[in-house]
Amino acid sequence: GKLELSNIDPKTLSNDQAAITTVKGERKGAYRDTNGELHIVDTTCTHVGCEVEWNSGDRTWDCPCHGSRFSFTGDVIEGPAEKPLQKYDYKMIDNLTSEDS
Ligand code: FES
């Protein structure tokens, strides 16, 4: 089913698991790929700003508004969006997270 906003720490994700979580109040999409690498993107679609949803079958971020689709790394697979989702370096997220605690 559809992923709901959670407070999962992306570090705790298993391989091939995605989560929608917040860092410093900003909504982020996180996915740990089958090689164990973590990918963090902003879930705001770069078309006109709807929130993308995780598609676990295709491992993509899909926008419900006008059908744009993005890879788990945030790159455009299908328009109308032309720009990739904003991508984050996990180390930066980690630093932001630890500053909070
Ligand atoms: Fe995402 Fe239009 S806002 S496709």
Q: Between 93 and 75, whose confidence is greater?
A: 75
What are the structural domains, with CATH classification, of the chain? Answer: 5-91 (2.102.10.10)
CA of 73 to the centre of ligand 1 (A): 17
Site to probe by mutation for ligand 1, drawn from 41, 50, 62 as the one with most ligand atoms within 8 Å of Cβ, is 50
**Can you read off the two tokens belonging to residue 58?**
């295709």
Answer whether residue 96 shows pLDDT above 80: no
Which ligand 1 atom sits nearest the alpha carbon of residue 68?
A: 4
Q: Is the pTM of this model over 0.80?
A: yes
Q: Does ipTM surpass 0.90 in this model?
A: yes
Using CB distances shorter than 6 Å, the residues near ligand 1 are: 45, 47-50, 63, 65-68, 80-81
> Mean pLDDT throughout 50-55?
97
